[in-house]
Amino acid sequence: MLAALEDAIVERLGALRTSAPRLELRSYGGELSDGDLLADVLRAGHAVLVTVPKADFTRKSGRRFALVATVRLVICSRQPRDERSTRHGTAGSAGTYALWDACVRLLTGWSPMDDVQGMEPTAFANLVNGRDSADYLSVLGQSFRVTGSWMVPEDAIEPITGIDLTYYLQPDDGVADATDRLPKEP
2-153 CATH choice from 3.40.50.1000, 3.30.2000.10, 1.25.40.10, 3.30.930.10 = 3.30.2000.10
Burial of 10 (C-beta count, 10 Å sphere; 0-12/13-18/19+):
middle
pLDDT at 159: 73
The residue-averaged pLDDT of 165-182 equals: 82
pLDDT at 65: 93
Residue 103 pLDDT class (50, 70, 90 cuts)? very high
The residue-averaged pLDDT of 107-133 equals: 84
The 8-class DSSP code of residue 99 comes to H
Residue 179 pLDDT class (50, 70, 90 cuts)? confident
Most confident of the ranges 103-112, 113-122, 173-182: 103-112
- With 90 as the cut, is the pLDDT of residue 128 above it? no
CA atoms 147, 123, 48, 166: torsion sign:
negative
Arithmetic mean of pLDDT over the chain? 82
Query: 3-state DSSP call for residue 61?
Result: strand
How many residues would you count in the chain?
186
Residue 51: CB atoms within 10 A of its CB come to 18
What are the pLDDT digits (tens) for 53-85? 889 999 999 889 999 999 999 988 877 566 666
Answer for the pair 127, 100: CB distance below 8 angstroms, yes or no: no
- Between residues 72 and 92, the one the model is more confident about: 72
Least confident span in 27-31, 60-64, 71-75, 112-116: 27-31
- Between residues 16 and 89, the one the model is more confident about: 16
CA atoms 12, 13, 19, 25: torsion sign:
negative
Backbone φ and ψ for 10, nearest 5 degrees, come out as: -60, -40
